[in-house]
């Protein structure tokens, strides 16, 4: 059974204006029977103004009369045909007026640092429309030159848990599709096991083949040996006769 709006205030009105049992009121308002008894004794809901369920189209007087005549009868909410098939409104999240001017900055931050997020995910995170996101992606927004990227969590437009959940969902979708584009996206979206299986980057080939067999050290040693003078030249002293001729 659906719960009436303002259940405790409705219980206060039923206790004060009807002869229904505590159990009947408790079952209708989804309260504990002892709590309804506390309302009748004045210990619970002190100062709460009663909410008339008949005037507010939640009960009919005939339904109350049936319940007063039979203590075992359970009250039922009045049928509202307008509420049948009503669904929760779908659309972008409501953003307060004081924070709406911050949405372009948060969109630019998400587009720059989390390009894996779809337009629908960004729309749900910051409460904007897809044309605005597309304009910022393509840098055709009328104020794009003055927009600075700011974290939407810091601006209070979404929670960190919501952003993490959206990024993980996008990462799982990318991994399932097997799309690995850039190095940044690889670090964000590809697991460690997948990154280890990637092909190694090609190395730059050497310009001259066979350099690994050529030893520069051997050639350098030969040049050094040619430059060194003969050891006997250090001991090539002049003869004794040459010294005598030079004396006066």
pLDDT at 238: 58
Angstrom distances, CA of residue 218 to CA of 88, 119, 211, 213, 215? 85, 66, 14, 12, 6
Residue 172: C-alpha distances to residues 151, 165, 178, 199 (Å) = 22, 11, 10, 22
pTM of the predicted structure, to 2 decimals: 0.40
Q: What is the pLDDT of residue 24?
A: 92
pLDDT (tens digit per residue) in 118-177: 999 998 899 888 999 999 999 999 999 999 999 998 888 888 989 999 999 988 888 887
Rounded Cα gap, residues 121 and 73, in angstroms? 49
Distances (CA, A) of 18 to 31, 34, 146, 194: 17, 18, 65, 70
Q: Using CA atoms, how far apart are residues 174 and 168, in angstroms rounded to an integer?
A: 10
Please provide the DSSP assignment of 148-187 as one string: ----HHHHTSS-HHHHHHHHHHHHHHHHHHT---SHHHHH
Tokens of 213: 């067999």
Q: Pick the closest to residue 4 from 55, 69, 44, 65 (CA basis).
A: 55
In this prediction, residue 225 carries a pLDDT of 53
Could you read off the pLDDT of 179-213 as tens digits, one per residue? 554 555 555 444 434 444 545 555 455 454 454 44
User: What share of the chain has pLDDT > 70, as a percent?
Assistant: 64
pLDDT for 211 equals 47
Tokens, residue 79? 């049928």
Integer Cα distance of 103 and 158 in angstroms = 11
């Amino acid at each position: 059974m659906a719960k009436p709006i303002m259940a405790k205030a409705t219980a206060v009105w039923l206790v004060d204006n009807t002869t229904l049992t505590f159990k009947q009121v408790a079952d209708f308002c989804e309260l504990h029977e002892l709590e309804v008894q506390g309302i009748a004794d004045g210990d619970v809901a002190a100062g709460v103004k009663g909410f008339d369920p008949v005037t507010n189209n939640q009960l009919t007087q005939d339904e109350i009369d049936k319940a007063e005549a039979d203590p075992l009868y359970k009250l039922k909410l009045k049928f509202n045909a307008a509420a049948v098939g009503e669904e929760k409104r779908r659309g972008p999240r409501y953003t307060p007026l004081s924070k709406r001017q911050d949405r372009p900055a948060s969109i630019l931050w998400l587009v720059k640092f989390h390009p894996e997020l779809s337009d629908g995910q960004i729309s749900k995170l910051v409460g904007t429309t897809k044309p605005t996101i597309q304009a910022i992606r393509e840098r055709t927004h009328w104020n794009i030159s003055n927009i600075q990227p700011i974290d939407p969590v810091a601006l209070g437009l979404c929670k960190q848990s919501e952003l993490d959940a959206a990024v993980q969902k996008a990462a799982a979708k990318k991994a399932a599709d097997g799309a690995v584009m850039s190095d940044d996206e690889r670090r964000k979206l590809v697991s460690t096991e997948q990154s280890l299986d990637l092909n190694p980057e090609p190395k730059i080939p050497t310009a001259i083949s066979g350099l690994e067999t050529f030893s520069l050290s051997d050639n350098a040693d030969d040049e050094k040996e040619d430059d060194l003078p003969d050891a006997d030249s250090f001991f090539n002293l002049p003869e004794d006769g040459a010294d005598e001729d030079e004396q006066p």
